[in-house]
């Protein structure tokens, strides 16, 4: 057995999580919902936090999803302040739009985004940064 001299941190493991897959399965099937709101939300928060996204930006997108739907939010030219973060979120929104076929799917996706925003805020609070 080879010893890895540089073990990966929890952040690194979570950042490598396929959030799109968790969205696809978590919005479509109840059995995967816990994974979506646990590891999926944390992984999304780690990813967006690393891209410098503030929690209020994610909260705003969640409000857009509630008001206009996932497809509308995904079609926004720049849903977040930076291009890289917008591209990342847009991929998630497009995946969610395809997966959220149940009547409550869009509301669930908006709630998930709210959870992501809360986690980003907690991460920033731990570092003493403002939300």
pLDDT in tens, 82-129: 999 999 999 999 999 998 877 688 999 999 999 999 999 998 886 555
Instruction: Using the predicted structure, report yes or no on whether residue 4 has a pLDDT greater than 90.
Output: no
The pTM of this model reads 0.86
**Is residue 103 within 8 Å of residue 55, measured between CB atoms?**
no
> What's the confidence (pLDDT) of residue 8?
67
pLDDT in tens, 27-84: 998 999 999 999 999 999 999 999 999 999 999 999 999 999 999 999 999 999 999 9
**Is residue 120 within 8 Å of residue 42, measured between CB atoms?**
no
**Is residue 98 within 8 Å of residue 36, measured between CB atoms?**
no
């Amino acid at each position: 057995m080879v010893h890895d001299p540089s073990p990966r941190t929890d952040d690194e493991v979570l950042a490598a999580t396929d959030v799109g897959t968790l969205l696809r399965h978590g919005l479509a099937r109840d059995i995967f919902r816990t994974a979506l709101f646990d590891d999926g939300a944390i992984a999304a928060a780690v990813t967006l936090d690393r891209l410098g996204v503030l929690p209020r930006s994610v909260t705003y997108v969640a409000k857009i999803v509630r008001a206009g739907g996932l497809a509308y939010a995904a079609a926004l030219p720049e849903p977040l302040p930076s291009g890289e973060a917008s591209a990342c979120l847009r991929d998630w929104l497009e995946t969610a739009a395809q997966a959220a076929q149940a009547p409550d799917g869009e509301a669930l996706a908006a709630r998930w985004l709210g959870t992501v925003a809360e986690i980003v805020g907690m991460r920033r609070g731990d570092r003493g940064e403002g939300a």
